[in-house]
Amino acid sequence: MVTLSDSVVVVTGAASGMGRSMAHEFADAGAAVAVVDIDADGAASVADAIGSAGGEAIAVDGDVTDTESVERIVDLTVDEYGTIDVLCNNAGVLDDFAPVGETTDDLWNGILDVNLTGPFYLTRAALPALRDGSDEGVVINTASVAGKVAGGGGAAYTTSKHGLIGFTKQLAHDYGPEIRANAVCPGAVETGMTEEMIEDLEAMTADTPAGRYADPEEIASVVAFLASDEASFVHGTAVDVDGGWLVD
Ligand SMILES: NC(=O)c1ccc[n+]([C@@H]2O[C@H](COP(=O)([O-])OP(=O)(O)OC[C@H]3O[C@@H](n4cnc5c(N)ncnc54)[C@H](O)[C@@H]3O)[C@@H](O)[C@H]2O)c1
């Protein structure tokens, strides 16, 4: 089982939004964190902030859609910290809610590459490190309410997040108990992804039980729980952290 205080955690998409909150949450719990993002400056500034607060982190300039870059993410983390205990596949991109008829090949492939193929590439590359000790390895994938219902994104986004939940289940099925894999399904969250559509977030969430959108920390705290020993019997599920979006 993973004790967060001496674990090594990789978080992708950690320069911004929920990934940044996850990186801080894990570092605050005493973990060493690889802050991975295609935005190298953003990753460096998050790792610096963690270091300034007395935590342990390295910044990794990485693109989850590129297999060489993905190998580098794993190698740099293992060179620095010796292993990987927790992998958070969090990097993601939105498709502007485009329906099928307005989804170009480039849009489709771009969304699927980051949101679904990226987690596959990085999980596959990290498996030896995740399985290298007597402790279980943990994988947490950031899916979405769009992984369960339509309307939380467009055709490509919804498909990618449904696929990511399927990927999570198959991972748990194939590698449990050595790997404990779960997904989180956020509803509307104020992040870099949604900063241009705050009024839309308000409208989307007005009739949900919470009646509001979330701060990224409200998702990161659930991810840290799922990664911890406290969630030791939670395998292969997709946990809604959505303010009740899916209740109806
Ligand atoms: N914001 C929401 O309302 C919401 C809701 C449900 C799910 N999500 C999911 O949460 C996750 C985090 O998104 P966020 O809202 O924090 O957005 P964000 O835009 O603030 O952060 C996403 C990060 O991913 C990085 N990234 C993009 N492509 C990458 C690549 N190829 N390789 C490495 N990093 C890459 C970006 O540079 C960015 O820093 C995503 O998977 C998103 O789909 C978001």
13 CA to centre of ligand 1 in angstroms:
6
134 CA to centre of ligand 1 in angstroms:
32
Q: Tell me if residue 157 falls in helix, strand or coil.
A: helix
**Domain range list for the chain:** 4-247
3-state helix, strand, coil in the chain (%, to 5): 50, 15, 30
**Residue with CA nearest ligand 1 atom 41:** 92
- pLDDT value, residue 1: 44
Instruction: Decide: residue 161, CB within 10 A, 0-12 exposed, 13-18 middle, 19+ buried.
Output: buried
- Spatial CA neighbour of 45 closest among 37, 240, 156: 37
Which tens digit of pLDDT belongs to each residue from 175-234? 999 999 999 999 999 999 999 999 999 999 999 999 999 999 999 999 999 999 999 999
**Is the sign of the CA dihedral 50, 34, 96, 162 positive or negative?**
negative
Q: How confident is the model at residue 248 (pLDDT cuts 50, 70, 90)?
A: confident
**Residue with CA nearest ligand 1 atom 17:** 193
Q: Tell me if residue 22 falls in helix, strand or coil.
A: helix
- For residue 122, give the H/E element and its range: helix 118-130
Distance CA 215, CA 37 (A): 20
**Residue with CA nearest ligand 1 atom 23:** 13
Which tens digit of pLDDT belongs to each residue from 130-178? 999 878 999 999 999 999 999 999 999 999 999 999 999 999 999 999 9
- pLDDT value, residue 3: 76
Counting ligand 1 atoms within 8 A of each CB, the residue from 24, 161, 193 with the most, and so the one to mutate, is 193
Q: How confident is the model at residue 96 (pLDDT cuts 50, 70, 90)?
A: very high
* Catalytic status, residue 157: yes
**Residue with CA nearest ligand 1 atom 2:** 189
Counting ligand 1 atoms within 8 A of each CB, the residue from 21, 24, 25, 37 with the most, and so the one to mutate, is 37
The HSE-up count of residue 219 (CA atoms within 13 Å, CB side) is 33
Q: Pocket around ligand 1: residues whose beta carbon is below 6 Å from it?
A: 12-13, 15-19, 37-39, 42, 62-65, 90-93, 114, 118, 142, 144, 186, 188-189, 191-194
- Spatial CA neighbour of 145 closest among 98, 187, 198: 187
CATH class as words, domain 4-247: alpha beta
93 CA to centre of ligand 1 in angstroms:
5
- pLDDT value, residue 2: 57
